[in-house]
């Protein structure tokens, strides 16, 4: 049968259109399937040993990454000063940082608040050996005290500020982490040291049973989970939803409990104005003291 030129031309057009649509759809599907979730580095302030933090945080980050457009990878640093340097360079996409760190790194490189613990106030503590004769801060006058790092907010900045207000002078030794403080005090290497209740409660019981809390600071807005400005807004919004809805499940509640956390709530920069009001001064050595 002879096909007219008109029909032949239009038949070829429809065939091309059909197969072109198939190939376009296949290409679109292929592109969709190879579109991998964003890999985001989640930095955690090294208040404790890296192995301890990884064990406690990795399940939480894995749960938050489920069915998400991102994958959160745990990261920390060997000590708090190194963590601070990495924050200053913007090496972490997201970070769990102390209140003072947030006020500094919110300015530069511009980390933005995502969430914080709901209804929580952070307080610092000073611990001494269980059988120490010290009954008040004044009993530590002239003694050697251990703190994690100069800019460790609740465990160092707040206790040192109050010691200064009380006119108590001390020799200071920075030991890199909360765990190291507790060990130094338990071993009698120092008369006392600074930490926070959460790390004190989760520290090895063989260590903490040798210690007691001598004093506690007033409360301030707690640690921030903050995000680097390079991360797309859509990812930030998804993270806020994930964090704030996390405690609604039994699994989420158990993971938060394992970290000693309350449920998360959305946060904004101004939430840390109480910390800014302290006027803590220079970042490298907040709250000038004579500790060398």
The answer to whether 152 touches 181, Cβ cutoff 8 Å, is no
Token readout for 13 is: 């057009």
pLDDT at 53: 94
CB distance 211 to 128 below 8 Å: yes
Pairing relation of β-strands 211-216 and 70-75?
unpaired
29's tokens: 């599907």
CA distance 182 to 204: 10
What local confidence, expressed as pLDDT, does residue 10 receive? 47
The reported pLDDT for the residue numbered 165 is 85
Helices (H), 89-172: 99-105, 158-165
| Cβ atoms of 182 and 48 closer than 8 Å | no
Question: Structure tokens of 103?
Answer: 């006020």
Q: How far apart are CA 281 and CA 22, in angstroms?
A: 64
pLDDT for the residue 292: 34
What's the sign of the alpha-carbon dihedral 214, 133, 179, 153?
A: positive
Q: Average pLDDT for consecutive 10-residue bins of the chain (292 residues)?
A: 48 43 38 63 93 95 94 95 94 96 95 96 96 96 96 91 90 94 98 94 94 95 97 96 91 90 96 90 59 36
């Amino acid at each position: 049968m002879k096909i007219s030129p008109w029909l032949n031309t239009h038949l070829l057009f429809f065939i091309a259109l059909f197969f072109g649509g198939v190939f376009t759809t296949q290409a679109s599907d292929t592109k969709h399937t190879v579109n991998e979730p964003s890999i985001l580095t989640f930095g955690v302030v090294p208040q404790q040993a890296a192995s301890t933090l990884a064990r406690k945080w990795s399940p939480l980050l894995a749960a938050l990454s489920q069915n998400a457009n991102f994958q959160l990878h745990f990261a920390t640093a060997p000590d708090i000063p190194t963590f601070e340097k990495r924050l200053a360079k913007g090496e972490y996409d997201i970070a769990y940082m102390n209140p003072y760190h947030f006020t500094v790194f919110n300015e530069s490189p511009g980390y933005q608040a995502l969430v914080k613990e709901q209804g929580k106030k952070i307080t610092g503590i000073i611990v001494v050996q269980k059988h120490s004769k010290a009954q008040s801060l004044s009993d530590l006058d002239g003694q050697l005290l251990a703190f994690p790092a100069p800019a460790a907010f609740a465990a160092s900045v707040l206790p040192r500020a109050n010691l200064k207000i009380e006119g108590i002078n001390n020799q200071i030794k920075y030991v890199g982490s909360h765990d190291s403080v507790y060990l130094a005090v338990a071993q009698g290497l120092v008369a006392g040291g600074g930490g926070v209740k959460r790390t004190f409660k989760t520290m090895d019981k063989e260590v903490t049973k040798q210690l007691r809390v001598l004093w506690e600071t007033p409360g301030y807005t707690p640690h921030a989970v903050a995000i680097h400005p390079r991360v797309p807004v859509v990812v930030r919004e998804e993270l806020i939803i994930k964090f704030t809805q996390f405690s609604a499940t039994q699994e989420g509640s158990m993971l938060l409990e394992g970290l000693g956390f309350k449920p998360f709530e959305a946060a904004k920069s101004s939430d840390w104005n109480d910390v800014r009001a302290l006027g803590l001064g220079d970042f490298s050595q907040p709250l000038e003291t004579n500790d060398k």
